[in-house]
Structure 1
Amino acid sequence: MAFSSSLAFPFPSPPSGTFQTRSAGRLRTGATERFLERSSPPPDVVVTRERGKNAKLIAALEKHNIQSLELPLIKHVDGPDTDRLPEVLSNDKFDWIAITSPEAAAVFLRGWKAAGSPKVRVAVVGAGTARVFDEVSQSDDQSLEVAFSPSKAMGKVLASELPRVSESTCKVLYPASAKASREIQEGLSDRGFHVTRLNTYTTVPVEDIEPLTLKLAISAPVVAVASPSALKAWLKLVSKVDCWNNYIACIGETTGSAAKKLGLKSIYYPTTPGLEGDVEHWELVLSSYMVQPLITA
């Protein structure tokens, strides 16, 4: 697996006393409240995915004796086309359903079931997204087939590699975040696909962050972000902090590129998002090869 960084690896040594290795008797997975109640040293890394989706990363970091603080930065809410999805699936036929994230997969499954589970062929970006469909795709019904994943877990690669299944115009349904770029639909359209995009969900910043939690998060040397939306939410939180320039660990190239465009310098991300796009594998690699060298530098 390859990694990219705006810094040379290994990272330069941090200021004295910034990082500390942890002894036994540490925070249990996901127990942010107990962490706050204890007089513990500052966390090593802040994990920022939506509530309920940080446990595996926290557990992976714990194996390397790394202290985590859970601080969800965004949450998913219905998009303007959420209610339209079942109707569209019931009234039209598509050659492909293009799904680019676990959240898009979960929202699609709800709409698909509401439509009566019509027969569909799904293209996914990444093994993590594919796993959301495991229970349905492995059932005896066989009405949902996960039939394609691109060679690299990125939307633009899916747009360039998605196979045509007929000589006539191929129809693609693209249920997406309202904040997703037009990269996929434009890439497919340029190749002659007919794309119907539905904005089935969106993300909003988490507003109710306790001041003590935020203070601890700002003190951490590493913040792990899984999307450009989470990155922007973090920058808004630290906008009043002078010269915040700690490390940003991004889940992949898309978020890493967004971090660069926003002017951040201390950025680290995998250029290939894990084996076969497996986000969970990347989380393990992050814990052992990115965060640990920072703490032991």
Structure 2
Amino acid sequence: MSDLVVVFDFDRTMIEGDSDDWVVTQMGLTQLFNQLRRTLPWNSLMDRMMEELHSLDKTVEDIANCMRLTPFDSHMIEAIKSAHSLGCDLKIISDANQFFIETILEHHGLLGCFSEIYTNPTSVDENGRLRILPYHNSALAHHGCNLCPSNLCKGVVVNDIRTSALGHGKKRFIYLGDGRGDICPTLKLVDGDYVMPRKNYPLWDRICSKPTHIKAEVHEWSNAEELEKVLLHLINTISINENCGGKNSSHPNSSKCQSKTRPFCSIS
């Protein structure tokens, strides 16, 4: 499956909750966070939270210890390890940040499964304070996308990955996500790609309301256990079709090469 790129969102997709919310809640920042939430862009707000932790004498290691306690479902761990072992090129695009994501993945032995992580970069300044910076620099902050925040347009990243992937012979994408920030990259997917939206979350709602805007084949999921089953079935079905030399087909009931079908959103 060396020609298959699997792209994960992180918050509420790879992990059940939100890594930013986790550190804010666990480290006692909720009141200040709520006070400043309407005054700062999210990325800048989280950098401000790190400043507050530093003023409270919380170290980078204290923050890391907090992140290591983030709940991470065992089915998700197995899905990632299995997809990696099957030869898929795994990547992350997330509006969280480098430190949170890498700390959590390393704690669960998953960091080495991912070839690239596209997220807001972090650094530790000369005073030992963790800084959270925007993914797009000032030159790209006005990327012209009205679906994404100024600090990160996931659609731009998907296009960049596709350009690089095609240069290395990779042709198909599976994109897994849940939120509004995953709408733009989903719209960048093409015929032959696949999108796995989390059911009853904003991305799924958008796909169900405007299905004709989506060129990729849609496969919904509700929890980590279901994600594992759907993802691995999809990977295996794609592999079977490649071995058969036939066209794409990844319908959940598919067991051999057949013509392409598009699963629909079953709104309940």
Which band: TM-score by shorter chain?
0.3 to 0.5
Q: Which has the higher contact order (CA 8 A, sep 6+)?
A: 1
TM-score, normalised with respect to structure 2: 0.37
Which is higher, the Rg of structure 1 or of structure 2?
A: 1
Structure whose residues are more often helix by fraction:
2
TM-score, length-normalised on structure 1? 0.34
Structure having the larger proportion of residues in strand: 1
